[in-house]
Structure 1
Amino acid sequence: MTEETAIGGRPPLSMRLAGHPSLARASAWLRRQASLQAGRFGLWTPVALGGGTAVYFVLPAEPAFALAVLALALAAACALASLSSSLRPAASRVLVLAACLLAGFALGRMRTEQVRAPVAPEGGEVRRVEAWVVDVASPGQGGSRVLLAPVAIAGLAPGETPVRIRLTLRGPEPPPAPGTLVSVPALLNPPPPPSSPGSYDFARDAFFDGVGGVGLALGQLRALPPSEAGLPGGLVLQMRINAFRWDLTRRLVDRMGPDRGGLAAAMTTGHEAFVPAAQVEALRA
């Protein structure tokens, strides 16, 4: 078949681009890049998957859940179509990448729905919190921080109670070990939004970590008689692992001293509660 007798009476793409040098150069560059990546096609599938998730996060408004279901169905259709033996290898690869892109978008939206949980109300009210200590977080400006799994929060119904909250403790006393059931009055707020446009979005990360509230403990944490009856198995396992990490941290600090043990513990277990402030500033510098 000659170029004049192309399908449908139209000239082939190479002839149509001949009158547009810039488009012709771009087309040639794309074909060359595609040929160079032919042997690394599998490495581009996670890139496409992540790209689809990135598309979800940059949308100005939350898309409907039905759109995620539709995207997942289209991804499955593209994946099945790519298996057709009548397709050229290049077309099959394009369909696979399109399937990954659509799947990334759908999975991002579905993950958001999966982790959706109650958030502490606005207003900063003081509430009595009864909760399990899940882990000891990095120290804040006012003191140590603990991650709590609330059992009950005064003034909030069970359906309004956040799954996790993070409290900053007052005073120099070390925080209680993970797996301790405590009661404390606290000033609770929802996770704060970015302090300026484009800056770190703590509220978004807290949402995906299941943290629905942050606040300040207004008194000493009072230990309550523990009872793990009725607790989810995953929470019990998580607290036991974190209790082992915390115990190892305390042992390192006790044996090596706070000057060396704090940094050694942070590098070994991830707990930064005992790193001296001077060393923290030195590391930042």
Structure 2
Amino acid sequence: MAGPGRGADKSEGATTSVSERSLFADVPHAEPLPVSLPASQPGIPPLSPDRSAPIPAPQPGPVIRFRRQLSHLSPSGIRNSVASAAGLELDRGVAFLLVPVFLACGVIVYFSLTVEPDFPQPIAVVVLAALCAAVTRSWRKTHLCFMAALLCALGVLAAKVETWRAGTQMLGSEIQTQLTGRVVRLDQMANGRIRLTIDVMSTARPTLRYAPERVRVSARKIPAEMTSGSVATGYVRLLPPTGPVRPDSYDFSFDSYFAGIGASGFFLGNPK
């Protein structure tokens, strides 16, 4: 048996030996070079003829892109996307930001009613919505729906309370009377007249049984010493606050009611 060959590793700890026959074995031929280069991959844009910059791939038109997007749409996919987006927004706390929105919806509902509701009606709706929201706390979606209804009901109740709190006494019909009151504000009008906001102290000839607490009247001229806080008296023509000029247009009496103005008009002479 042949001993270890000359090419064997002589170092200490070597555990393998090389056979001399392997040194004279035929060396396999190297693989021939490819005749042509492989085709470019789809993700790599080809180079231009001058090899300076890649040739941009043609972009699909907007119609083709729109059709591709429509092909990926499905009712279940839309539902899952909406549910995922809604859950993400709720986790971010967007529900708190929607509180004034639902309150405003309740206010709009109240002022859209054709009949003035009594206090027991909105209070009953608030109590019912609160009970339903408390019972459905374990069902998140149902609980959120009842919370939205509760906020709308609270908006209706808040609008009712504000309307009751204002309680402006409005003039019922056109009338002429002797007015005495304290000037609250003086405004110069564009036509040269002066508009006075007056808190009514008394009326005479005739005496109004349901006189408004505050009126807004105009005068052609006022005494030079008259300022806010002065007492003015004179014969005035009072008119109820005007409503909308056209159906469903702006109601001027709405602003007058919440501003505390129960009538408007003008002095038939210069106030004293």
% identical aligned pairs:
25
1:184-223 to structure 2, matched below 5 A, reads 184-222=234-272
Q: What secondary structure is seen at the aligned counterpart in 2 of 1:98?
A: helix
Q: CA deviation at 1:22?
A: 9.1
Asked whether 1:163 is paired with 2:218, we answer no
Equivalent of 1:104 in 155, 179, 183:
155
Specify every segment of 5 or more residues in structure 1 that has no aligned partner in the other structure, as ranges: 1-20, 223-285
The answer for the alignment partner of 1:179 in structure 2 is: 229
- 2:194 is the alignment partner of 1:144: yes
**TM-score of the superposition, structure 1-length normalised?**
0.60
Task: Give the partner amino acid of 1:34.
Answer: A
Q: Is the 8 A contact 1:169 1:175 kept in 2?
A: no
- Matched letter for residue 107 of structure 2: T
Cα distance in 1 between the residues matched to 2:232 and 2:138: 63
Range with bigger deviation, 129-138 or 87-96: 87-96
Counterpart AA for 2:233: S
Quickly say closer, same or farther: Cα 1:214–1:51, change in 2 above 3 A.
Answer: same
Q: Deviations over 1:84-115 (max 9, x none)?
A: 8x525544443332221110011112221222
Change (3 A) 1:69 1:198: same
The answer to which structure has the higher helix fraction is: 1
The alpha-carbon distance between structure 1 residues 149 and 88, as it changes in their structure 2 partners (threshold 3 A), is same
Question: Aligned partners of 2:207 and 2:74: how far apart in 1?
Answer: 64
* C-alpha contact (below 8 Å) 2:180/2:232 kept by paired residues: yes
Task: Give me the CA root mean square deviation.
Answer: 2.9
- Calculate the TM-score normalised by the size of structure 2: 0.62
| CA shift for structure 1 position 194 | 0.7
Cα distance in 2 between the residues matched to 1:35 and 1:175: 67
In structure 2, give the amino acid aligned to 1:74.
L
1:53 corresponds to 2:53: no
Report SS of the residue matched to 2:197: strand
Q: Report how far residue 64 of structure 1 moved.
A: 2.9
The unaligned stretches of length 5 or more in structure 2 are 1-72
Indicate whether 1:113 and 2:164 are aligned.
Answer: yes
DSSP 3-state at the match of 1:211: coil
The match for 1:266 is none
The alignment covers a number of residue pairs equal to 197
Q: Does 1:135 align with 2:185?
A: yes
Query: In the alignment, residue 164 of structure 2 is paired with which amino acid?
Result: E
The one of 139, 146, 150 equivalent to 1:95 is: 146
After superposition, the Cα gap between the structure-2 partners of 1:87 and 1:128, relative to the gap in structure 1 and judged at 3 Å, is same
Q: Deviations over 1:257-283 (max 9, x none)?
A: xxxxxxxxxxxxxxxxxxxxxxxxxxx
Change (3 A) 1:23 1:128: farther
1:73 aligns with 2:124: no
1:64 corresponding residue in structure 2: 118
Structure 1 runs of 4+ off > 4 angstroms? 21-30, 88-92, 172-175
CA displacement, residues 235-266 of structure 1 (integer Å, 9 cap, x when unaligned):
xxxxxxxxxxxxxxxxxxxxxxxxxxxxxxxx
Inter-CA distance 99–173: structure 2 relative to 1 (3 Å threshold): same
**Greater CA drift, 141-150 or 52-61:** 141-150
How far the C-alpha of 1:204 sits from its partner, in A, is 0.9
Bigger radius of gyration: 2
Q: Which amino acid aligns with 1:108?
A: A
d(CA) in 1 for partners of 2:193, 2:81: 57
CA shift in 2, pair 1:182/1:89, >3 Å:
same
